[in-house]
Structure 1
Amino acid sequence: MDPISTKPQGECNVSIKLGMGFGSDEHAYECYNEYATSIGFSVRKKYANKNRVQGYVTSTKFTCNKEGYRNIDKRDSIVKKHRKETRTGCLAHIIISHQSNGVFHITLFEDKHNYPLVDPTLSYLLPSQRKIKVVQAYELDLLDDSGIRLKASIEYAARQAGGQSFLGYTKRDHKNYLRDKRQESLKHGLDDDSLITNVFWVDAKMIRDFKMYEDVVSFDTPYRTNKEYRPLALFVGLNNHSEMIIFGAAVLFEESTESFEWIFNAFFKIMSADKPQTFMTD
């Protein structure tokens, strides 16, 4: 019944055919993604049906990532610059079904796309192909712990892999990995080693100046000149002579949502102030 023998878990090739068998749904995804890499498109999971009693996957649909169209957002009517539509309604997909012998077979396969595919040499930039492997994660942790900056770190990792195309992830993925790692350890301004990660300070003059010139506040984190490469954040305003004055400053562990929530709450609590009329930030 199966025209192609089931591949052992972890072993794939770049051909996909109707009736092909896999040891698991995860293995099917890996092989379909490898096939997508070879011809230049990205993959995403559309749905997975499960057995209600035992909970195992009975069928799954994997599609081209340009399948369908983005849902209409009610907020679009008030947005001046809309996001570019990236989906094209592409119908390329496979559906795999769980058989009684435990093997997943491809029961439906559509291989035609309705848009020009990416050059396979650039497939590593596509979403489903970008992945930081466990070994690479250990390497990134070591580079980060050694104080190597992001740009030098990504260049080193690319050289180790034999080039950017063999790295398997982008600079943004690298940055996001380190951000997520730090967010896990960021708790109440302390890291796992009980070291201070967020520091905010003001003095009496800053508080007095804010009371007088609080109408417009600018906030930004453009500076990373300290040894640990931490963002230096400044709350800045203008006095009646159009001179720049500082209302407060902070060294942040990272530019994360948690860090910004913490510093904004700390700032307005110390200043005993409501939100200013105008607040400018990047």
Structure 2
Amino acid sequence: MEDEFKLEIGREFESLDEAWNFWNEYGSKIGFGVRKYNGTKSKKDGSIITYRYVCCKEGIRKKDRRETTTSRYRPEIRTNCKARMVVSRIDEKFKITKFNEEHNHPLHTQETVHLLPSQRNLSEVQAHEVDLAEESGLEPKEAFDLMSTYAGGQENLGYTMIDARNYLMKKRRKHIKFGEVGCLLEYFQKRIVENPSFYHKYQLDMEQQVTNVFWADARMLKDYAHFGEVVSLDTTYSTNRDHQPLALFSGFNHHRSVVIFGAALLYDETIESFKWLLETFLDAHTQNKPQTVFTDQDQAMARALSEILPNTRHCLCTWHLLQNGIKHLGNLMKEGSHFLTDFKKCMFDYVQVDKFEEAWSKLLSSYNVHENGWLNSTYNIKEKWARCYMKDAFTLGMRSTQVSESVNAEVKRCTKPKLDINRFFKRFDKVVEKKRFKELQLEYES
């Protein structure tokens, strides 16, 4: 062992921190974990005059007197090891006055010493890197593998994946100490300070608990003023631990790129919730009503639209319609079947009504689905999705699946049901930033 880490009586340290760092480094060289034990204070001024540093296996765990039915007990790691170092304050410095180098247990090899708790430390810089990785949507394991690669291996990183997880968990508990409602209001307050035009509104239930929440930043308000004639309203995402639906209002800009006009977390998908959502959306956008709204086949949403926006054309998003078709009629789309192709033709190919009706009758006969409930209910609202019935609708070409496919992919990639409200907003803001950066790219290319 090098002389710089040799225990000897009289060795001096400028402070207790220096003495601790020496003991920790000494333990690393030898192969054992270290702990701070206790100190003795001066009766005159209360300053520490003696301090003891011990092996991590010092002492014996006290017997747990509680009655417990725990099936998994912590392993016993204490061996009453007597290895220690005692420093005392002499002439304004701390000197080693006693030490014991003998251990009563096997020592760790140099290949595993980096796993000792006393050798693991998540520095401020590393904690910031973990935060950035988490905000970017990386899973803890992916982030840890990335950091390990940068450091040249896990043994050089200085912390383990468990340490990173514990750090994130502690940080999340701190952020939600006032509950999810507190986090929600804190987020909105921060956004208002950044931009006074930020709009938000929430609805309370009988117990004064937040149920539905809507928000739109200044850029969303501006985009809607320019491009809000045709809107897609999607509520197919379940984004947080309470499985609340996320409602997104989106559309096309002048580059035919997707822009977001507003978002909401809903308590449920009832008629009353959708009516509140639509009324709040109009309030945010100064009662500027869209000409056309595309949605999925949700009946509660359709009822709310007919009451709140009676003069707005209601159409069905073809992407959602096809997804529902695959869900309800997957047995007809097995290998070799042309059902999906024929169904798409009914949606997109026929300009004349009689041609559409003929193709629809042929579809039902060819696949013997005259009694299928989903097909019959879909046919009853054909004016919302069939091309021949939508010739007079103002759509800006939004019948294509570009809006829903694009937004669905981004939101599902960046948000997951296990997220708490604080992490959800960070991830959602990233989705919005990506959309706006895409617009900058298109602006540059044009």
TM beyond 0.5: yes
User: Does the CA contact (< 8 Å) of 2:240 and 2:416 recur in 1?
Assistant: no
C-alpha distance 81-148 of structure 1, shift in aligned 2 (>3 A): closer
- Structure 2 unpaired stretches of 5+: 191-212, 214-238, 245-266, 270-410, 423-446
1:153 aligns with 2:143: yes
The equivalent residue for 2:84 is 93
User: Does the CA contact (< 8 Å) of 1:40 and 1:117 recur in 2?
Assistant: yes
C-alpha distance 52-227 of structure 1, shift in aligned 2 (>3 A): farther
AA of the residue aligned to 2:9? L
The equivalent residue for 1:106 is 96
The equivalent residue for 1:30 is 21
AA of the residue aligned to 1:124? H
C-alpha distance 230-16 of structure 1, shift in aligned 2 (>3 A): farther
- The share of aligned pairs that are identical, in percent, is 34
The equivalent residue for 1:141 is 131
1:252 aligns with 2:242: no
Give me the whole-angstrom Cα distance separating, in 2, the residues matched to 1:16 and 1:86: 25
Tell me the TM-score normalized by structure 2: 0.42
User: Does the CA contact (< 8 Å) of 2:241 and 2:417 recur in 1?
Assistant: no
AA of the residue aligned to 1:137? A
C-alpha distance 68-146 of structure 1, shift in aligned 2 (>3 A): same
The equivalent residue for 2:74 is 83
Give me the whole-angstrom Cα distance separating, in 1, the residues matched to 2:146 and 2:113: 21
AA of the residue aligned to 2:35? R
Q: Which of 103, 107, 115 is the equivalent residue of 1:117? A: 107
Give me the whole-angstrom Cα distance separating, in 2, the residues matched to 1:177 and 1:40: 26
Deviation of 1:135 (Å): 1.8
AA of the residue aligned to 1:193? Y
Deviation of 1:103 (Å): 0.8
Q: Whose helix proportion is higher, 1 or 2?
A: 2
Q: Secondary structure at the match of 1:94?
A: strand
Aligned length: 206
C-alpha distance 74-159 of structure 1, shift in aligned 2 (>3 A): same
AA of the residue aligned to 1:26? D
Deviation of 1:137 (Å): 1.6
- Choose 1 or 2 for highest CA Rg: 2
User: Does the CA contact (< 8 Å) of 1:149 and 1:229 recur in 2?
Assistant: no
Deviation of 1:58 (Å): 1.2
Deviation of 1:47 (Å): 0.6
C-alpha distance 80-137 of structure 1, shift in aligned 2 (>3 A): closer
The equivalent residue for 2:157 is 167
